[in-house]
Amino acid sequence: MIPPSLERTARDLDIHVSSGGWNQPTRLFAIADTGQLLDREPSLATQLGASAEESPWTTIEQDGLPPHTDLDELLGGLGWPESVDGVAVCAERIMVSPEDADQRAEHELRVTMAVLRDGARCTVLRLREHDSPELVIVGEDLVSGLGDLLLHTLR
């Protein structure tokens, strides 16, 4: 079962990244407990604009990602300090699905996956052909292996 606060975080990230349109590079986010973050950095309260009760998780985009040829390569070389409670990634991909024996259909999609240290995870899939926050597909682990790879970066 997806924790509601994690689903909200993943959905919010999907909307945030989608506001930049399509054809974006992979984007990576640290996830921090908002209450603990505000205890350490009270000056962030005005920037965050929400209390820990309203938004239990805060996402912090990681700029300057190292060059990589694929997502496994990027995530395989990452590690996070204990102060990071989770990690999320947004990446665009092409999904190929067989329509019939002679024709295959390609669909562009954006995968947003958020994982917490305790193993909780949420995936949001947005198809380019149905580009709307109301039409996303949400599930616990919709991209095989990605959740485990993200979790590995936290250990």
pTM of the predicted model as reported, rounded to 2 decimal places: 0.88
pLDDT in the model for residue 16: 95
- Please name the amino acid found at residue 38: L
Task: Look up the domain containing 16 and give its range.
Answer: 4-153
Query: What pLDDT, in 10s, does the model give residues 105-137?
Result: 788 999 999 999 999 999 999 999 999 999 999
Q: How confident is the model at residue 78 (pLDDT cuts 50, 70, 90)?
A: confident
What SS3 class is residue 117? Answer: coil
pLDDT in the model for residue 125: 96
Cα–Cα distance for residue pair 9/54, rounded to 1 Å: 11
- What DSSP string describes 67-92? P-SSHHHHHHT----TT--EEEEEEE
Domain count, the chain: 1
* Mean of the per-residue pLDDT values of the chain: 88
Task: Name the range with the highest mean pLDDT among 7-11, 56-60, 74-78.
Answer: 7-11
Mean pLDDT lowest among 40-54, 84-98, 111-125 = 40-54
Q: How confident is the model at residue 35 (pLDDT cuts 50, 70, 90)?
A: confident
